[in-house]
Amino acid sequence: MKQSRNTAAKTKILTIIKDSEMALSRSEIQSVLNGLCDRITVYRVLNRLVCEGLVHKVITLDGGVNYAIGNTESCNHYHIHFSCQKCQSITCMNDIKPSFQLPENYKVNSINFTVSGLCPRCS
Amino acid sequence: MKQSRNTAAKTKILTIIKDSEMALSRSEIQSVLNGLCDRITVYRVLNRLVCEGLVHKVITLDGGVNYAIGNTESCNHYHIHFSCQKCQSITCMNDIKPSFQLPENYKVNSINFTVSGLCPRCS
DNA sequence: CTCTTTAATGCAACAATGTTGCGAAACTAA
DNA sequence: TTAGTTTCGCAACATTGTTGCATTAAAGAG
């Protein structure tokens, strides 16, 4: 395993994600960076952060990829993402676990559950 | 509202989706078409089929867009998609509805619930 | 069956996302 | 300070998805 370094880009991007209440896309992050680094570097930093378990991906209803703070494992297991149709925000609802019953013979590894509607601010 | 026509491409694509047990991507559909029509036409046909409520989109865990037979409305409301990590198949589990409890003030419109793991054939 | 209207198609062009290779820069440990 | 490795920026490329425009074809009217 490669040793990872704390570069300016990585630190800044991690801070941006940490300070955001909602999951952000690569381009949203990029626009806050004010040219601190290249587009490709943002992709690579995000991949590294996901690998290192500091950040996890959130897939939006239309297939967009967003990033939020937190470990992928704990995230994939039984928590809900809320997607507001008005303000477009994606929020991790860490405490809410859905329940469901699959037929036998299906082995569950992870789930991705996105609920779409109106958040408290917009409703 | 535009009047829709039953063209060769549309008929063939609808048949492919109907006959498939799992949700297919644009490129998978394309490769079965054997050059019957253009890439752009496939996109347009798929969009039309979704508009007409004959087909619905399924977003995979990594943000890919797949298509499966059936109405979007009925699909978005409370049914699960199963994604097999081995054979990559995406299956609509029409009968299984997850249950969950959101905080007050959240208004739910639709859900997208994808469970990932091993299907019966692969486990 | 032919004509007319309008939807559908193919092509070119474009935009956005995401990846890879490579040389240059920067970090870290000795 | 030096050597080794990681990260960065750039160029290039692949894939997905959309739009405008001229051409083709479906389907109803006569």
pLDDT tens digits, one per residue of B66-96: 999 987 666 555 678 898 888 878 888 877 8
Closest residue in A to B109 (Cα) is A117
Q: A57: closest CA among A49, A47, A68?
A: A68
Q: How confident is the model at residue A28 (pLDDT cuts 50, 70, 90)?
A: very high
Please name every residue paired with A66 in a beta bridge, in sequence order, or none if there are none: A25, A58
Whether nucleic acid strand D comes within 7 Å of the CB of A123, the answer is no
Residues of B in contact with A116 (CB under 8 A): 108-112
In degrees, rounded to 5, the angle at the alpha carbon of residue A94 between the alpha carbons of residues B95 and B106 is: 70
Tokens read off for B108: 């739910």
Q: What is the model's pTM?
A: 0.84
Is A123 within 8 Å of B113 when comparing Cβ atoms? no
**Tokens 């079965």 -> residue:** B32
Q: Max alpha carbon distance in chain A (Å)?
A: 52
- Nucleotide closest in space to B45 (CA vs C1'): C8
Which amino acid, one-letter code, is at B91?
A: T
Please state whether strand C lies within 7 Å of residue B40 at its CB atom.
yes
**Which positions in chain B touch A112 (Cβ < 8 Å)?**
61, 112-114, 116
**Residue A76: per-residue pLDDT:** 54
C1' of nucleotide D19: residue with nearest CA: B40
Q: Give the span between the Cα atoms of A119 and B109, in whole angstroms.
A: 11
* Termini Cα distance of chain A: 47
Output the distance from B78 CA to D15 C1' rounded to whole Å: 31
Question: Rounded mean pLDDT of B14-27?
Answer: 95
Q: Phi and psi for B94 in degrees, rounded to 5?
A: -60, -25
Give, in Å, how far the C1' of D15 lies from the CA of B36.
21
Q: Which pLDDT value is given to residue A30? A: 97
Task: Identify the three-state secondary structure at position A35.
Answer: coil
CA distance B56 to A62: 12
| Residue B53 to chain A, least CA–CA distance (Å) | 17
- Give me the mean pLDDT over the B26-47 stretch: 97
Q: With cut-offs at 50, 70 and 90, classify the pLDDT of residue B32.
A: very high
Chain B positions touching A106 (Cβ under 8 A) are 82, 115, 117-120, 123
Q: Which amino acid is at B63?
A: G
User: Cβ–Cβ of B100/A123 closer than 8 Å?
Assistant: no
Q: Do residues B100 and A99 touch, judged by C-beta distance below 8 A?
A: yes
